[in-house]
């Protein structure tokens, strides 16, 4: 699948790719799609706001996207979802915001992907899954959670034949589509990259939409029998300046 022009790494970034004769610290990119880094951070007493904004600008110049979230609850102050074609640039972004006073309390590493059950899905929709444009307009309520499929003795997703798994996922998707326009779901793959198999990022019009969507989908057989869920992170999507201002006065 062809990567859109806007996501092509610049020549300097590809200097170290195989066959180019560059350094071993050149670009490292997925075969298709984008690298995705979720950073859930605590704001230190000496938060350098201009340095965080500079890190965001550098990420965008390199063809990346940065979604800023003011987190609710005790798990983190600031959430940053960073997408881009080069994992080295994601790493540099992480280093830059850490140096600026955002201490990473939790993180998640994954890649955008097209599900193996998406045969017959129009190419336009596949491209949207590989190269999502975030954050979606009008959806400020945010939730993230990791998940895996069960591999227990009684319920083992991976022992089911492909056709059975595909039918379960199609049913699961039908429920999700009833929230079209209210909730955007971005599912990224993390098998071999992080502790769970997928990361699920939800953007919604209201927090009630998030709650209702996850609640309804848990009744579906694919979730009720076979899903395991990790911790949930919730917050409010805004521009980075607003998010940084929300973590406390005088920072």
Q: Where are the alpha helices (DSSP H) in 41-133?
A: 49-61, 87-99, 123-130
pLDDT digits (tens, 9 = 90+) for 27-58: 999 999 999 999 999 999 899 999 999 999 99
For the chain, list the domains and their CATH numbers.
Answer: 123-236 (3.30.70.1030)
Assign 3-state DSSP to the chain and report helix, strand, coil percentages, each to 5.
30, 25, 40
The confidence score (pLDDT) of residue 120 equals 83
Q: Phi and psi at residue 148, in whole multiples of 5°?
A: -140, 170
Q: Where are the alpha helices (DSSP H) in 62-161?
A: 87-99, 123-130
The alpha carbon of residue 78 and the mean position of all alpha carbons in its chain are separated, in whole angstroms, by 15
Which pLDDT band holds residue 249 (cuts at 50, 70, 90)? low
pLDDT mean over 210-236: 97
The confidence score (pLDDT) of residue 16 equals 40
Are the beta carbons of 34 and 199 closer than 8 angstroms? no
Instruction: Give the tokens for residue 250.
Output: 């005088």
Q: Which residues pair with 79 in a beta bridge?
A: 40, 69
Instruction: Give the tokens for residue 166.
Output: 């595909």
Are the beta carbons of 117 and 166 closer than 8 angstroms? yes
Are the beta carbons of 221 and 160 closer than 8 angstroms? no
pLDDT digits (tens, 9 = 90+) for 164-176: 999 999 999 999 9
pLDDT of residue 21 exceeding 90, the answer is: no
Q: How crowded is residue 212: how many other Cβ atoms within 10 Å of its Cβ?
A: 16
Sign for the CA dihedral angle at 214, 218, 221, 225 comes to positive
Instruction: Give the tokens for residue 103.
Output: 């201490």
Which residues are designated catalytic? 145
Least confident of 45-49, 85-89, 117-121, 216-220: 117-121
**What percent of the chain has a predicted confidence (pLDDT) above 70?**
89
Cα angle 184, 149, 68 (rounded to 5 degrees) comes to 35
pLDDT digits (tens, 9 = 90+) for 104-141: 999 999 999 999 999 888 999 999 999 999 999 999 99
The confidence score (pLDDT) of residue 25 equals 63
The confidence score (pLDDT) of residue 121 equals 87
């Amino acid at each position: 699948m062809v990567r859109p022009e806007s996501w092509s790494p610049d020549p300097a970034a590809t200097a170290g790719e195989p066959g180019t004769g560059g350094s071993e610290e050149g670009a490292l990119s997925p075969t298709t799609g984008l690298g995705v880094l979720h950073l859930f951070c605590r704001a230190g007493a000496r938060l350098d706001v201009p340095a965080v904004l500079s890190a965001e600008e550098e990420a965008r110049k390199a063809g990346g996207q940065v979604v800023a979230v003011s987190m609710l609850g005790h798990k983190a102050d600031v959430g940053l979802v960073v997408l881009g074609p080069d994992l080295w640039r994601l790493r540099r972004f992480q280093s830059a915001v850490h140096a600026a006073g955002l201490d990473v309390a939790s993180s998640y590493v994954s890649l955008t992907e097209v599900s193996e059950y998406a045969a017959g899905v129009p190419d336009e929709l596949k491209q949207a899954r590989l190269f999502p444009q975030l954050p979606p307009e009008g959806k400020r309520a945010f939730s993230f959670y990791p998940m895996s499929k069960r591999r227990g003795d009684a319920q083992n997703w991976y022992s089911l034949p492909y056709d059975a798994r595909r039918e379960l996922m199609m049913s699961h998707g039908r429920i999700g589509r009833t929230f079209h326009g209210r909730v955007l779901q971005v599912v990224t793959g993390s098998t071999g990259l992080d502790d769970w198999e997928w990361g699920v990022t939800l953007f919604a019009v209201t927090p009630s939409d998030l709650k209702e969507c996850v609640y309804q989908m848990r009744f579906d057989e694919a979730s009720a029998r076979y899903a395991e869920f990790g911790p949930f992170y919730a917050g409010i999507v805004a521009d980075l300046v607003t998010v940084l201002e929300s973590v406390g006065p005088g920072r």
